[in-house]
């Protein structure tokens, strides 16, 4: 899939191709730039575990219905034929396969005859930014299917917990594995929020000391990121709320854990709202900084104009062309030997007095 980085944003835009209008529902069309498909299998019980990478879907049959929990992880959605074979093996509805491949689905939970279908989005941190990856889950009797758009390590913490003997996940059914996957997806947003928090802290210092046009562009980029994240997290809240009320697929014990994930989603939304307010405050600080900077410039210009006003008055008085021969009162200083030094001294004294007055008032200080 095509990543188009934006200089002012951490969140990268990933474009997904939609089916053409009028396409038959359930049509599965992979994106031309989709990642190659890789299938990983984990079959486990309380005391035993088998983990291997599958070369074909047919290899899964020998593990199906023979283990307490069977987890099939599909990474990359380029091989449409492979997805159809998985759909046939686990009786997946064509609409499920279409939503899995499309990559632009809203987080949701839907019940089908073959199992519970869940769509969520995880935050994936890259070297040059952050992307949101769709992860689809299918919870059935004794199995869980997970579909990722790329071969990321997003679900590796879950695999490590499965490998650890004696953990709760090894003692539980497939519904607890589904919860664990959802919890990992939800918690993927917290490092991203910490990264945004650090960036906001840096911007708060910079926007006061060095306000500029590039800074306001970056702040607007962050605000757009927060809106995008919130649009993807808010439906996840509704999805978990639906799963909490799902009595058929989840045990009472697992539902307690789902409530914890729901609380995490609410916390993420609160943090995003807080970051959004901080972004708005940064814009106000930026505008205030510009206004203060303009006031400083106007203050300097006003002081300069104030100093030169009396100097201009003195120069104007002595620049009047009165005939000294007509009256002894017509500027006798003009014929004085020290008249010119006197006028310059008067101007300098006036300027010094004004500067002294400004300093006493504190107008010359940068504080």
pLDDT score, position 333:
73
Low-confidence ranges of the chain (pLDDT < 50): 1-6
pLDDT score, position 140:
92
CATH code of the region 296-361: 1.20.58.340
Task: Express the helix, strand and coil content of the chain in percent, nearest 5 each.
Answer: 55, 15, 30
What's the predicted TM-score (pTM) here? Answer: 0.78
On the CB side of 61, CA atoms within 13 Å amount to 8
pLDDT score, position 367:
56
Q: DSSP of 26-86, one letter per residue? A: T-----TTPPPPEEEEEEE-SS-EEEEEESSGGGGGGTTTSSSEEEEEEE----HHHHHHH
pLDDT score, position 68:
94
d(CA 335, CA 343): 13
pLDDT score, position 8:
62
CATH code of the region 3-288: 3.30.460.20
Q: 199-253: per-residue pLDDT in tens?
A: 888 888 888 777 777 888 888 888 889 998 999 999 999 999 999 988 788 998 9
Q: DSSP of 163-176, one letter per residue? A: HSTTSHHHHS-HHH
Establish whether domains 3-288 and 296-361 are of one fold. no
d(CA 258, CA 316): 85
Q: 177-187: per-residue pLDDT in tens?
A: 999 999 999 99
pLDDT score, position 2:
41
On the CB side of 31, CA atoms within 13 Å amount to 22
**Where along the chain do its domains lie?**
3-288, 296-361
Q: 41-81: per-residue pLDDT in tens?
A: 999 998 899 999 998 899 999 898 889 999 999 999 988 99
pLDDT score, position 18:
62
């Amino acid at each position: 899939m095509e990543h188009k980085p934006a200089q002012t944003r951490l969140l990268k835009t990933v474009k997904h191709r939609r089916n053409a209008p009028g396409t038959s529902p359930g049509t599965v069309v992979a994106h031309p730039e989709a990642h190659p498909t890789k299938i990983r299998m984990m079959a486990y019980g309380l005391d035993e575990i088998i983990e291997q990478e599958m070369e074909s879907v047919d290899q899964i049959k020998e593990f199906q219905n023979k283990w307490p929990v069977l987890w099939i992880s599909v990474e990359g959605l380029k091989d449409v034929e492979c997805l159809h074979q998985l759909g046939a093996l686990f009786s997946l509805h064509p609409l499920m396969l279409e939503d899995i491949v499309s990559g632009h689905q809203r987080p949701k939970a839907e019940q089908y005859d073959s199992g519970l279908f869940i769509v969520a989005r995880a935050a994936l941190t890259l070297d040059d930014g952050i992307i949101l990856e769709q992860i689809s889950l299918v919870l059935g009797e004794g199995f869980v299917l997970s579909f990722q758009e790329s071969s990321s390590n997003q679900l590796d913490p879950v695999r490590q917990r499965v490998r650890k003997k004696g953990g709760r996940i090894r003692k539980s059914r497939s519904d607890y594995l589904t919860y664990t996957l959802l919890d990992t997806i939800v918690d993927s947003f917290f490092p991203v929020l910490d990264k945004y928090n650090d960036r906001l802290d840096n911007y708060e210092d910079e926007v006061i000391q060095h306000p500029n046009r590039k800074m306001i562009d970056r702040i607007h980029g962050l605000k757009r990121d927060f809106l995008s994240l919130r649009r993807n997290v808010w439906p996840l809240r509704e999805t978990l709320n639906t799963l909490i009320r799902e009595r058929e697929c989840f045990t009472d014990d697992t539902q307690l854990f789902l409530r914890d994930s729901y609380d995490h989603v609410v916390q993420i939304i609160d943090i995003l709202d807080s970051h959004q307010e901080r972004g708005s405050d940064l814009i106000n600080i930026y505008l205030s900084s510009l206004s203060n900077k303009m006031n400083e410039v106007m203050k300097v210009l006003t002081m300069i104009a104030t100093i030169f006003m009396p100097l201009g008055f003195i120069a104007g008085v002595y620049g009047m062309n009165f005939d000294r021969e007509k009256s002894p009162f017509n500027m006798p200083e003009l014929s004085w030997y020290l008249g010119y030094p006197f006028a310059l001294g008067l101007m300098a004294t006036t300027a010094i007095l004004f500067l002294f007055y400004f300093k006493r008032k504190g107008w010359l200080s940068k504080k």
